[in-house]
Structure formats: C-alpha cells, structure tokens
Amino acid sequence: MTQVFYVAWRYLAYHRWKTITLVGAITLIVYLPIGLRVLVDQSSRQLTARADATPLLIGAKGSPLELVLNTLYFGSDHPAPTRYAEAMRVTESGLSATIPMYVRFRARGHPIVGTTLDYFDFRGLEVADGRNLAMLGECVLGSRAAESLGAGPGDYVVSSSESVFDIAGVYPLKMRVVGVLEFADSADDDAIFVDVKTAWVIQGLVHGHQDLNRPEAAAGVLGREGNRVIANASVVQYNEITEENLESFHFHGDLSNYPLTAVLVVPPDQRASALLQGRYQSDEDLAQIVTPVAVMEDLLGTILTVERFVVAGAVIVGLATLATAALVFLLSLRLRRRERLTLFKIGGSRLAVASVMASEVVVVLASGALLAAGLTLLTSQFGSLAIRALLRT
C-alpha cells in the first residue's frame, strides 16, 4: 500500500502546478460556505450579546443603526448629537438610571468614549493597572488600546484634531492615563475612556483659561463694563488639565444643552421600559428611543439574506468546480493510457494501477479538505477581531 501512495505522491509532486490548482479549488469549495457560516454565527453571537446587554438607547432622530453601532462598538460615524437634557429627563422621571455617552473624538485611531463611572459598573469593566477616573482630564485605556498606544498609568494620550483645517474648532487635549482595564473581549478593549465632562473639554464647551482679572491676561481683555469683562480669543486656554489649572475649568452655558451621542438607559423592569418607550413616540420629539437588540436583529436579517445568496452562489460554483475537477481527472486518465500500459508490463496488477489513480484523487481531496478545515479554524479564532474592525470603520 505504501508503494501505491508513493507512486501517487510522486506523480502529484511532479505535476505540482496542476496539483496546487486542484487542491486550491477544492479548498475554496469547502471553505467558502463553511467559513462564511462560522463568520456569520460569530458576528450574530457578538452583535446580539452586546446588544442584549444594552436595554435601551436614546439618541437624536436619525439612523437607529448608526446610533447603535456608535454607542455599542464606538464606530467612527457618529450620529447627530442629542442633548444632556435627555439623560436628565429620564432620570427625573424616576423610571430608569441613565448613562450618558459621547463618542465623537479619537486619539490615534482609538475612540475616546466620554461617559460616567456607571458605564464601568454596567459593563463589568475592572481596572487591571492603576486606578479609575477621578479628576477632569484623566483617561483610562482599554487593554488593546494600551498595547497599541504603548501607554500605561502616568503616560499621556493626546486627542486628535477633527480636521486640520478647523483652526477655530476642536483643539487637541493632552490627557493623563491613570489606568488600564482588564481584557474584556469586546469593543471596550480598543477604547480610551474619559469622563463625559473631559469629552466636553475636548470640544471646548468646558474650558480653563487665564484669570481675566490678573495682569498677565490684560493683553487679551478688550474692555470692562462694571462686573462684565470682555476678552478676545487670544486669552490663553489650557490644552492640558493639571493640578495647578484644574480650578480654572468651568462650564459655558446651560448643562442641559450639552451634547451627547446617546443616552444608555437601564430600566429596572419591563414596565418601566414600556413606559419610557411610550414617551418617545411623539413625532415632534427630537429624540428617538431604540432597542439595540431589535436594531441588530434587523441588521442580522440583512446579513443572513446576503449569506444565503453567497452560499447558494458558492454551492453552484463548487458544483461547477467539482465537475471541472472530475473532468480533469477523467481527461488525465485518458492521457495516461500509455503510462498504465507500462505499469501492467512491468508487473503491476489492475487493482494496483487503479489504486494509484484513486490515491491521487484521495490525496487531492483530503489536502483540500484539510486546508479548508485550517482556514475555518483561523476564522473561528480571529473572525471576531475582523468583525469588530469592520464595525469600527
């Protein structure tokens, strides 16, 4: 039997390009539908698990999918802003606890997630190194963000400008890293967490600057009318929050008008959830309330439909490829008639010659199947990372 396989192997090795083409074709035929199935299963599990753990979201009226993807996976497309008043509205109703979310800014490609400490409790995130947020201007890194930025407690992360041409807009803020979170195997691992007020500092809504009553600020003061001091934009504003200038940071305007990308709502029971959803049904309301799991199921429905088409296409292509492979083998048998005669003449039995030919087919099919299994294994291991990367973009 060993000799049979040896002869088959030598033949395949000699015709290596034909063998490689056949094995590659078989691999793709087997891998495409199975790998796609694994990927879809994984994405379904991931998407629904995080959406399942997020009861309700409130955001500005617009695309519910954009709202959910930005809040759950910190996608770079941020929805239109809603107001902090929406969080206050729900809290004051007594129906539910709320967690404000402001996911708009980035630092070296990582999302800056402005929220409150309640988010860490809600997602069960623990600090592995350092401590949690305490003062304005501090940040805590997700485990993969810390690795990618090469930063840990005591280091600094600088927020990115939204646009190089936006000279009057968002200035970079130098934020002190105070902690790194434990690996959570979720979108939180790639994020940079700050207090929502620090996110407003990045936007310039909360800011610190020179005391306008001090002599060093005199150059920036245009005039004084009683208790009113008018200054120009040259007043030095701080781009890092330190112990020395922390006291100078203050809010501009009414807190209720401050922007959020979403309000995460955690009602205690179904009744509170239903009551809250009822309150956002008015057409005049500028905010919408969405159930993330329903939005994700809609998305999954679309993905599954696409998957069905892709699998059907793959099966048809597979059948055609198998037919072509069979033809290749049959034609090959015909072309190798003289080779078989030679084998007979040197004493090979009909069975031995048939075994050599069959072994060649088996080796090609087995190699293709093995490679497909390997690719499927890789997909199951790293598919979740690919899905998360896709969701972030």
Which spans of this chain sit near other proteins (rule: CB under 8 A)? 91, 97-100, 116-118, 121, 131-136, 138, 168, 195, 197, 204-206, 209, 212-213, 220, 227-233, 235, 237, 246-247, 249-253
CA atoms within 13 A on the CB side of 289: 22
**Phi, psi (5° rounding) for residue 168?**
-100, 5
Polymer length of the chain: 393
> Tokens 């995080």 — which residue?
50
Q: Which residues contact 166 (CB under 8 A, 6 or more apart)?
A: none
Instruction: Return the H-helix or E-strand segment holding 296.
Output: helix 292-335
Q: Is 327 exposed, middle or buried (0-12, 13-18, 19+ CB in 10 A)?
A: exposed
Nearest residue (CB) to other proteins, 25 versus 192:
192
Furthest CA-CA distance within the chain? 117
Q: For residue 262, what is the DSSP state? A: E
Residue found under tokens 């299963």: 41
Contacts of 209 (CB under 8 A, 6+ apart): 217, 235, 236, 237, 238, 248
Nearer to other proteins, 229 or 303 (CB): 229
Helix (H) or strand (E) segment spanning residue 294: helix 292-335
User: What is the spatial distance between Cα 165 and Cα 323, in angstroms, rounded to a whole number?
Assistant: 59
Contact yes or no for 311/36 (Cβ under 8 A): yes
CB of 118 to other proteins, least distance (A): 5
Burial of 208 (0-12, 13-18, 19+ CB in 10 A): buried
How near is the Cβ of 101 to other proteins at its closest, in Å? 12
Question: How far apart are the C-alpha atoms of 186 and 49, rounded to whole Å?
Answer: 10
Determine contact, residues 111/103, Cβ cutoff 8 Å: yes
